[in-house]
Amino acid sequence: MKNRIDQRFEELGSQAAFVAYVCACDPNMEKSLEIIKGLADAGADIIELGVPFSDPLADGVVNQLAAERALKAGATTLKVLELLKKFRKTHQTPIVLFTYLNPVYTYGFEDFHKDFAEAGADGILLLDLPPDEAKKNEELTNQAGLKSITLIAPNSPDARIADLAAQSEGFIYALSRTGVTGAQAAPSASIGETVAKIKAHTQTPVCVGFGIGTAEQSSMVASVSDGVVVGSAIVQIVAENAHSEDVAAKVAAFAKPLIDAAKEVS
């Protein structure tokens, strides 16, 4: 069966994809399931599902606090697996796992990839695995059904961009700026140049994230890329409404204008 990520980009054609990030089990298991279903129903093309980790070094404070909330609510890797299985009973929206090496190795590298692929995950982004190291370790390149999503920073040298683009699959996550995750700074105005550099070396779709939190920003990024990634701005809505019974509806209501703005550009 064709990977859901590849299938979704084929279906979209020239239309930009909208990729929504949330932390699994934030603020708890039940509400998290409602949130990801709501985002899918609102039109998100791909959902990045963060696996809660106690030391998320690549994340800004908003996403760090999301992981903390999830862990306090009893989140474990097995519960994330259960969440994914429940989601797959009703939805086929592609899922990319957003995580670090530690939780994967604690679970068992090979078993993690096998179990999550069987449960319905489609890709994985390992934030603290340098591509150079992955090449040196065969076990780190055996994804067992999960597309390995490549991260490319705007300050990457041209030779490194070419190398990373050549080995990419699923989609490339291009950072709109340097730093940790967070909506505190707007996307760089030069992101179009970065996307063009990447696309010169690959046919893999290029999605842009970091700092996108308004419909206007979503539209701008969609106009120069194959997709828009919104994370911290969505997670902030979860944080503000964590104790509300209709948190999922509020998250979907926030995301919908950003999704629509991305879709209007082709």
- Model confidence pLDDT, tens digit, residues 33-52: 999 999 999 999 999 999 99
Domain region containing 222: 4-263
Is this structure's pTM higher than 0.75?
yes
pLDDT confidence of residue 174: 95
Sign of CA pseudo-dihedral 253, 254, 257, 258: negative
Domain of residue 230, CATH code: 3.20.20.70
Residue 258 dihedral angles phi and psi, to the nearest 5°: -70, -40
Tell me, what DSSP letter sits at residue 57? T
Kindly tell me the burial class for residue 47, based on how many C-beta atoms sit within 10 Å of its own C-beta (0-12, 13-18, 19 or more).
buried
- Predicted confidence (pLDDT) per residue in 187-228, tens digit: 666 889 999 999 999 999 999 998 899 999 999 999 999 999
Q: Which residue out of 6, 59, 122, 226 is catalytically annotated?
A: 59
pLDDT confidence of residue 154: 87
Strands 206-209 and 147-148: unpaired
Least confident of 87-91, 174-178, 192-196, 206-210: 174-178
Active-site residue, 48 included: yes
43 three-class SS? coil
What average pLDDT does range 53-58 have in this prediction? 87
Q: Which residue out of 48, 138, 226, 245 is catalytically annotated?
A: 48
Whole-number Å distance between alpha carbons of 102 and 155: 27
Active-site residue, 118 included: no
Q: What is the chain's mean pLDDT, rounded?
A: 91
pLDDT confidence of residue 140: 58
Least confident of 18-27, 114-123, 136-145: 136-145
Residue 133 predicted with pLDDT over 80: no
Residue 235 predicted with pLDDT over 90: yes
Whole-number Å distance between alpha carbons of 161 and 154: 9
Number of domains making up the chain: 1
